[in-house]
Amino acid sequence: MKRYNEISKFRKSFDLITNWFHYPIATFLCTILSYTSITPNVITVLAILFELAAVYLILTNFISNLFIIVILLQLGWIFDLMDGMMARFKQLGFYHPTKPSKKGYYLDAVSDHILKFIIICALAYQLSIKHEFGWEIGIIALLIHAITQTEHTLRNMISKGLNQNQKKLINNNFTTNIMLLFNNIYLFYLIFIPMNRIDLLLISFASIELLLLSKRMIFFWVNEP
């Protein structure tokens, strides 16, 4: 229990579902693995493999494996949370006190974004099989996600000079927290894949991303000098 509490200190703040559901599981598993020689990079690779396995099932046998796909995707998110906690707890990779390395950080961040695109593409393919406008819905969702991620990355680069009060306002704003909750694509997987409603998943997720993009752009324009 003592080590669990120690590792819990290395959590980052995400949406409510991640903080209350995924992170406790991730912390428990991370506590167990912390007694082994498993490295954060190995955990990252496991997260990648879970999500690639889900992609394979989406493409090959979606209907028969709805719940397995959901479990694999949730495990991918949980292990994605674990690698950072393990690195910070053991002071490895990017967090090494004397010889920090960005390779693990790079693998984690890049694979996370690439996998989201791959999963959306796989879901769009599956939707195109049974929906008249499946490809159109998928392409629009993919474009919106690409635009949102591009804006998010560039805005963070530009906004490195934000003062602490502005950062605090961004992190503690109730509306932002709600929108971040609905912007968690793993929550959409959890709700819509068991229902076999890929169309609702892509449409609703893309709509929330557009709202969040608009809010970020407006907030930046109003608050930046």
What CA–CA distance (Å, rounded) separates 156 from 170? 12
Cβ neighbours of residue 157 under 8 Å, at least 6 residues apart?
none
Give me 164's structure tokens.
């602490």
Number of compact structural domains in the chain: 1
What CA–CA distance (Å, rounded) separates 143 from 32? 40
pLDDT of residue 167: 46
pLDDT of residue 223: 80
According to DSSP, residue 111 is labeled H
Cβ neighbours of residue 188 under 8 Å, at least 6 residues apart?
201, 204, 205
For 195, the domain range is: 2-223
Mean pLDDT by 10 residues, the chain (225 residues): 87 86 94 92 96 97 96 96 91 83 89 95 95 92 94 81 46 62 88 96 94 86 78
Of the candidates 24, 26, 34, the one whose C-alpha atom is nearest the C-alpha of residue 3 is 34
pTM for this predicted structure: 0.88
Q: What is the CATH number of the domain that holds 162?
A: 1.20.120.1760
pLDDT of residue 99: 84
Give the Å distances, CA to CA, from 43 to 29, 146, 187.
11, 26, 21
